[in-house]
Chain A
Amino acid sequence: MFRRLPEATGAPIPFTFDGREMVGRRGDTVAAALLAAGISVCRTMAVSGAPRGPYCMMGVCFDCLVTIDGAANRQGCLVLLVEGMRIKTQAGAPQAQAEEGAT
């Protein structure tokens, strides 16, 4: 859906998406890195199960919600990609999960 221009030569930043290894560039948000990697669906809706992907890229629409390093409902378009991030498709409503040692 998107390709990177040759002048975009920022440092490569490896991450995983649903376990698959991918590489973004310094300066990418999570949503941009996913689009560059050919990912157009990043979550499904809690109401209907319909697939969604990034829509506004500026923090307004909340359609790029993903799970990042175990934290659900992160806005992919506002979070800067960091090396080693484990990003996951958010399928429907996420599970509420206790922090370790809390119970």
Chain B
Amino acid sequence: MKTIAAIEAFADRYDLAIVGAGPAGLAAASLAVAHGVDVVVLDENASPGGQIYRAVTSTPMTRREILGEDYWRGVELVQEFSGSASSYAPSTTVWNVARGLDGDSLGRDFEIGVSLRGKARLLRAKEVILATGAQERPFPIPGWTLPGVMTAGAAQIALKSSGLVPDGHLVLAGTGPLLYLVAAQLIEAGASIRALLDTTPRANWMSALTATPGFLASPYLAKGLALLRMVHRRLDVVGGITALRAEGQKRLNRVAFERAGRRTELDCDLLLLHQGIVPSINLSNAIGCAHDWDDVQLAFRPQVDAWFASTVQGVAIAGDSAGIAGGESAAARGRIAALGAAFRLERIGAGQRDRDAAPLRAELALLARGRRFLDVFHRPAKAFRVPSDDATLVCRCEEVSAKTIRETVMLGACGPNQMKAFTRCGMGPCQGRLCGLTVTEMITDARAVSPAEVGYYRLRPPVKPVTLAEIAALPQTADAEKAVAR
């Protein structure tokens, strides 16, 4: 692995650029390099691993049992990658991926806008694999913007990378496997949790069991049950939560919830929210890849083929960014995507590609067993996806309330893009990451149509902020000059 620490150290051109150094990106890179592909991995974080294996080779955590064996599995992936001939650019922001137009100087290459230590550059690559992973689903409840309210994933990141555990009155709330995993990890690390408020709708039990009898054969079953038992034994789990508010003036000091029509309040310094993870699609959306609404996972995911190739030729999407399937699946999907890319780059033939992919596909099939159970069982309640309280902020950046969104639908804004123009919802620096799904589902709810019909924001570069000076220093053309200085 060749680490790129300065913008000048990049080559002008690579065969394959991989965005993201989580399990999908790392596995894809290691495999592609082994087939003679010239690879660069571009990652926003300072060390490889993505979120699931965050800081796995640099964490201060020494007691293995706190984070659990699933976490340490990441070491092998990182070591394999470190031993490979891949180029690796940590702390690097990818702010644009654009396909060259026929006839211009790019040919069919991609132009990749990157920024490292305050300097931007345009790289070229023949193939791109997006391994941008997942993010936690927005959890728009009253008070969710108060300091002291964080996501469960955020607390896990603080634990993994800095050995931090919550102190003081701590409450966890929501649903999803990660919520219970974080609870277990925090308990092991010595945190004292006042309560876990479980918002999983009671009806999910039945729908999940009837929809997916296959769960009994799932590798998740034993693991999941053990986790549930441990958490239930060690802390106060309150189920059937139907309403949740974070309260406080300048910061959180109380969480209020309703259960069976009864309101309860708990003093609280830190509230960790979580209701599942959803694909990170900002980059694939901006590139122009087609996306579908996944009605089980309640999120948009890119359309991909058997090689995880998107609808934009040359762009593959692997790992959770192609639909949530978990970290182990992500690595296998990354490898399959890498085989597809190596084939298109003519490093391997179709025969070898298919042969090498076969065991990976078998692995994926095994890992997929019971996944649907998790999706259906942890499907978050509508009350926590479509906020009914008028004052709840939907767009954290521009501070747009649920009331404004609903009023604007009544005005005739039939989709998120007109909504955005009318309200500024989604125009802030997070570029819709924390409001996009909420807005789609709120419009869906108000118009009584499908989320697929409502659609999502149409995103543009830069998908992450980059300074004017950085953009100003990029290569220009005579045509561009003519188009502007008229």
Using a CB–CB cutoff of 8 Å, the interface residues on chain A facing chain B are 1-5, 7-10, 25, 27-29, 32-33, 35-36, 40-41, 45, 47-48, 50-63, 65, 71, 73, 77-78, 80
A1 touches B45 (CB 8 A): no
Closest chain A residue, CB of each to CB of B252 = A40
A38 CB to closest chain B CB (Å) equals 9
The proximity string for B residues 431-442 relative to A, scoring 1 for CB distances below 8 Å and 0 otherwise, is 001100000000
Count CB-based A-B contacts (< 8 Å). 138
Tell whether, in the assembled complex, residue A55 and residue B150 are in contact, meaning their CB atoms are under 8 Å apart. yes
B434 touches A2 (CB 8 A): no
Q: Write out the residue numbers on chain A whose beta carbons fall within 8 Å of the beta carbon of B429.
A: 62, 65, 73
Q: Does B60 contact A (CB under 8 A)?
A: yes
- The answer on a CB contact under 8 Å between A5 and B153 is no
Q: Does B111 contact A (CB under 8 A)?
A: no
Q: Once the chains bind, are B428 and A62 in contact (CB under 8 Å)?
A: yes
State whether A2 touches B165 (Cβ < 8 A).
Answer: yes
**A-side binding surface: helix, strand, loop or mixed?**
loop
CB under 8 Å from chain A, chain B span 54-74 = 55, 58-63
Decide: A7 and B164 in contact? CB cutoff 8 A.
Answer: no
4 further interface pairs, Cβ-Cβ under 8 Å (given A47-B398, A50-B399, A59-B464): A7-B62, A28-B162, A53-B147, A56-B135
Separation of A60 and B151 alpha carbons in the complex (Å): 11
Q: A2-B165, A5-B190, A53-B147 are in contact. Are A58 and B154 (CB under 8 A)?
A: yes
Shortest beta-carbon distance from A66 to chain B in Å:
13
Q: Which residue on chain B has the smallest CB distance to residue A10?
A: B60
Task: Check A4–B164 contact: CB distance below 8 A.
Answer: yes
Cβ-defined partner of A48 (8 Å) among B280, B399, B430: B399
Q: Does B149 contact A (CB under 8 A)?
A: yes
24 CB contacts below 8 A, A to B, read: A2-B166, A3-B164, A5-B165, A5-B189, A8-B60, A8-B162, A8-B164, A9-B60, A25-B162, A27-B60, A45-B399, A51-B147, A53-B148, A53-B251, A57-B155, A58-B154, A60-B135, A60-B136, A60-B434, A62-B428, A62-B429, A73-B429, A80-B46, A80-B91
CA distance A57 to B149 in the complex (A): 12
Contacts of B135 in A (CB 8 A): 56, 58, 60
Say yes or no: B154 contacts A54, CB within 8 Å.
yes
| CB of B51 within 8 Å of the partner chain | yes
Q: How far is the CA of A9 from the CA of B61 in the complex (A)?
A: 10
A2 near B250: Cβ-Cβ < 8 Å: no
Contact A1 B145 (CB under 8 A): no
Q: Which residue of B lies closest to A24 (CB)?
A: B162
| A4 and B162 form a contact (CB under 8 A) | yes
B399-A1 in contact (CB<8A) = no
State in angstroms the CA–CA spacing of A63 and B144 once bound together. Answer: 12
